[in-house]
């Protein structure tokens, strides 16, 4: 039995996604980018600013995608630093780091 | 005149900014602004805590103080380099600049007391290391500006 809403995923990604490639394979993914204050000094003073880059794709569209894979997201090269199955395994969300 | 504590903090900041080797950033005092992603390394000096003991009896005129100063060192790194390696030159410099100092006689001793590593990952890797430096000095019990 298909997961609830699974039929809507390809259309959603086609509408909102950007190009994501792994080697010769390509798909569409939704990218979330957000800056974050990290490692704040005790007392609430200075922190360092880091950027979260998280991509959501349909599961199974990039065969062999794993932690450490070299990917290109909307033209920018990254490495996968974390990979999680979400939405009952229908989607995969991975975090990116600069290579 | 400012307190001996403030003079010591200023002297520690000055020591860290005197004769810095290439690649070690200038230290600033009690940095309040965030460190943008474009800055690879940073150093900031701030008071952390101070313990005070009366010398002699309860009516003794002297206060023995141990001021712990935090020298916060930050670094970021991309690629496969372990991010803590990026801080090694900064930590080496803190040890060299402050170890064994007396700050022109203001302090009895200046010694590193503790170093702790905190790390985080986003699209790069980030590390903050507060180096806690213990400074022993003495004042009159009722006058923080008086070096005795």
Average pLDDT, chain A: 92
- Residues from chain A that touch B36, judged by Cβ atoms under 8 A, are 49
- Whole-number Cα distances in Å, B18 to B48, B95, B98: 23, 13, 11
B36 touches chain A (CB under 8 A): yes
Of A39, A42, A97, the CB nearest to B123: A97
pLDDT at B3 over 80: yes
B29 alpha carbon, distance to own chain's centre = 9
pLDDT band at residue A1 using 50, 70 and 90 as cut-offs: low
pLDDT band at residue A44 using 50, 70 and 90 as cut-offs: low
For residue B57, what pLDDT is reported? 80
Compare A93 and A88 and report the one with higher pLDDT: A93
Q: Does the structure's ipTM exceed the value 0.90?
A: no
For residue A57, what pLDDT is reported? 96
Q: How far is B55 from chain A (nearest CA, A)?
A: 31
pLDDT band at residue A37 using 50, 70 and 90 as cut-offs: very high
Contact B122 A53 (CB under 8 A): yes
Contact A48 B128 (CB under 8 A): yes
pLDDT band at residue A73 using 50, 70 and 90 as cut-offs: very high
Digit-coded pLDDT (tens) for B77-109: 888 889 999 999 999 999 999 999 999 999 999
Concatenate the DSSP letters of all residues of chain B into one string: ---HHHHHHHHHHHHHHSSPPTTPPPEEES--S-B-TT--EEEEEEEEEEEEEEESSTT-SEEEEEEEEEEEEEEEE-TTS-HHHHTHHHHHHHHHHHTT--TTTT-SEEEEEEE--EEEESSSEEEEEEEEEEEEEEEETTEEEEE-
Closest residue of A to B36, CA-based? A49
Q: How far is A78 from chain B (nearest CA, A)?
A: 8
What percent of chain A has a predicted confidence (pLDDT) above 90? 73
For residue A4, what pLDDT is reported? 67
Worst-scoring range by mean pLDDT, A6-10, A49-53, B26-30? A6-10
Q: Which of residues 35-94 of A touch B (CB under 8 A)?
A: 35-39, 41-43, 45-53, 78, 81
Contact A50 B118 (CB under 8 A): no
Alpha-carbon span A57 to B62, nearest angstrom = 68
Q: Which of A44, A50, A76 to mutate to test the interface with B (most CBs of B within 10 A)?
A: A50
- Residues from chain B that touch A37, judged by Cβ atoms under 8 A, are 34
Of B30, B78, B118, the CB nearest to A39: B118
pLDDT at A64 over 90: yes
For residue B52, what pLDDT is reported? 95
B121 touches chain A (CB under 8 A): yes
């Amino acid at each position: 039995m298909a997961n609830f809403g699974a039929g809507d995923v390809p259309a959603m990604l086609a509408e909102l996604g950007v190009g994501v490639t792994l080697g010769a394979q390509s798909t569409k993914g939704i990218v979330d980018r957000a800056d974050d204050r990290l490692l704040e000094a005790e007392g609430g003073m200075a922190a360092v600013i880091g950027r979260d880059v998280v991509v959501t794709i349909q599961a199974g569209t990039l065969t062999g995608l794993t932690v450490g894979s070299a990917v290109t997201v909307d033209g920018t090269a990254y490495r996968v630093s974390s990979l999680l199955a979400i939405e009952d395994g229908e989607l995969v969300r991975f975090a990116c780091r600069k290579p | 005149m400012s307190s001996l504590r403030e003079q010591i903090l200023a002297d520690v900041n000055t020591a860290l900014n005197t004769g810095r080797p290439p690649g070690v950033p200038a230290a600033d005092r009690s940095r309040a602004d965030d460190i943008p992603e474009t800055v690879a390394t940073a150093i900031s000096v701030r008071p952390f805590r101070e313990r005070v003991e009366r010398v002699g009896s309860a009516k003794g005129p002297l206060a023995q103080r141990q001021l712990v100063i935090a020298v916060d060192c930050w670094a970021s790194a991309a690629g496969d380099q372990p991010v803590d390696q990026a801080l090694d030159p900064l930590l080496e410099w803190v040890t060299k600049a402050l170890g064994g100092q007396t700050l022109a006689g203001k302090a009895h001793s200046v010694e590193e007391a503790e170093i702790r590593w905190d790390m985080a990952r986003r699209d790069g890797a980030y590390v903050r290391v507060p180096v806690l430096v213990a400074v022993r000095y003495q004042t009159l019990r009722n006058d923080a500006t008086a070096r005795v």
